[in-house]
Amino acid sequence: MSTTTSEQKKFGPRQGQKPAGGHVTQVLKTQRNDFWQKGPMLTLLGFGAFVVYVHLRAFMGMDYYAAPYLSPFYSPLVYANPEYYAGSPTFHALLGNLPAGALSFWEQMVAWMPLALPLSPAFFILIFPASFRGTCYYYRKAYYRSLVGSPAGCTVCPIAQGTYQGETKLLLIQNLHRYAMYGAVAFIFILTYDFWLALFMPMTEAGVPWSAGSGDPTSYQFGIGVGSIIMGLNVLFLGGYTFGCHSWRHMVGGRLNRFANGDESSTGITYAIWKASTWLNERHMPLAWISLFWVMFTDLYVWSVCNGWITDYNTWSIATSGQ
Ligand code: FES
């Protein structure tokens, strides 16, 4: 005869209670015999490495432009700040140089901080993709499991033993995802524009590729480099992740009970977009990781070229090698 209480029915068994449905009730214990910890551990490592890297690069506030490549962490570049960073591409910034007094205003604002906080464009940019990824339905599952172990996995007894409240109270903030999605979609267009610019090398008056300290470019030369390909793939992967978002899929068609032209045989544009989003949505987890890794790699590539740690092979250097 079952002894399951009404609380167990509603919230599952708590520690010390009799298990319902065969679940073990000791924290992080389970009857599963597979290596269920693997997923949470890999998430912790992957996500943790990304968070550390992003903070490092955002706090640097420099080495984000290696002509003609702009790091995705610094895009869109609204203002350039040559006072701060010698290679700052004024001509690439939407509004040119930082207005006079902005830097001293910032320094006064952060003067109370023990560490000098640079006026890094990344601080103002990364908040958009961070809010999108941080509230993504897939990532929620991943970091609930790996960071707080509640739930740690299917049929694994969670660490949190209080009353289950789902995504209510503080976690209501996760509902911002549908709004963060608009910002993320805008970023796909911005990064596509950066990719376009990555195909045109700014040239100096002397007819050589632009470099820090060589003034404003006088012309642009079409070509392609390894960096252009990396930036193009970045748009592709981020686009695949963004347009497979559950909120996007809902917006473009999922909210409808029926497509205008009928069922699956429909040839309507709404159906086609929803179908494409569904295909991406089914691959949301791998796309989340590939795009996360690739955006980090794209920044690392720009950073490395900036510092001369690696050579960017491109058609511009071939074209000007004889000069
Ligand atoms: Fe993952 Fe929207 S659900 S990005």
Summarised one tens digit per residue, pLDDT across range 209-238 is: 988 888 889 999 999 999 999 999 999 999
pLDDT higher than threshold 50 for residue 2: no
Encode pLDDT of 17-66 as tens digits. Answer: 555 556 777 888 888 888 888 988 998 899 899 999 999 999 999 999 99
Ligand 1 atom at minimum distance from 138 CA: 1
Q: Is 314 a pocket residue for ligand 1 (Cβ < 6 Å)?
A: no
pTM score = 0.86
DSSP string covering 208-269: SB--TTS-S-SEEEE--BHHHHHHHHHHHHHHHHHTT-HHHHIIIIIT-SSBTTBSTT---H
The Å distance, Cα 321 to ligand 1 centre, comes to: 46
Q: What's the rounded mean pLDDT across residues 148-169?
A: 82
Tokens at 257, concatenated: 């009970």
In angstroms, rounded to a whole number, what is the distance separating the alpha carbons of residues 40 and 48? 12
Q: What's the rounded mean pLDDT across residues 237-263?
A: 87
Q: What's the rounded mean pLDDT across residues 79-84?
A: 82
Closest CA to 91 of 6, 190, 218, 206: 218
The Å distance, Cα 50 to ligand 1 centre, comes to: 18
Q: Is 138 a pocket residue for ligand 1 (Cβ < 6 Å)?
A: yes
